[in-house]
Amino acid sequence: MGLDRVVLGWTNEANTLVRTERFEDFNEALAFIVRVGLLAEKSEHHPTITNTYNEVCLLLTTHDQGNTITEKDYDLAEKINALLTSAK
């Protein structure tokens, strides 16, 4: 299912795509989380998101496929990358 695919800014850690982003402050981090949430709802695929002040960590894996990386994860990672690019 494309497990060898590379998405810029993401690492593969234990069958999970991982990306950490830092923002100017908590408000920017929170706004990013909301935008990711809207993308996730539209995609019907939801990341694990953790937030510590201005840092946001995203984890993508497909739980109903045995906690592995699938096309859903790669597709959402690319959409999140586009969101980050458009915000800069």
Each residue of 41-81: pLDDT tens digit? 999 999 999 999 999 999 999 999 999 999 999 999 999 99
Return the CATH number at 45.
3.30.1360.20
Burial class (CB in 10 A: 0-12, 13-18, 19+), 47: buried
- φ, ψ for residue 15, nearest 5 deg: 60, 35
When the pLDDT of each residue in the chain is averaged and rounded to a whole number, the result is 93
Q: Bigger pLDDT: 88 or 70? A: 70
Task: Please check whether residue 45 lies inside any domain of the structure.
Answer: yes
- pLDDT tier for residue 3 given thresholds of 50, 70 and 90: low
Task: Please check whether residue 2 lies inside any domain of the structure.
Answer: no
**DSSP string for residues in 11-70:** EE-SS-EEEEEE-SSHHHHHHHHHHHHHHHHHHT---EEEEETTEEEEEE-BGGGTSB--
Task: Please check whether residue 60 lies inside any domain of the structure.
Answer: yes
Task: Please check whether residue 68 lies inside any domain of the structure.
Answer: yes
Structural domain for 73, as ranges: 11-87
Number of domains in the chain: 1
Q: For the residues 29-49, what does the mean pLDDT come to?
A: 97
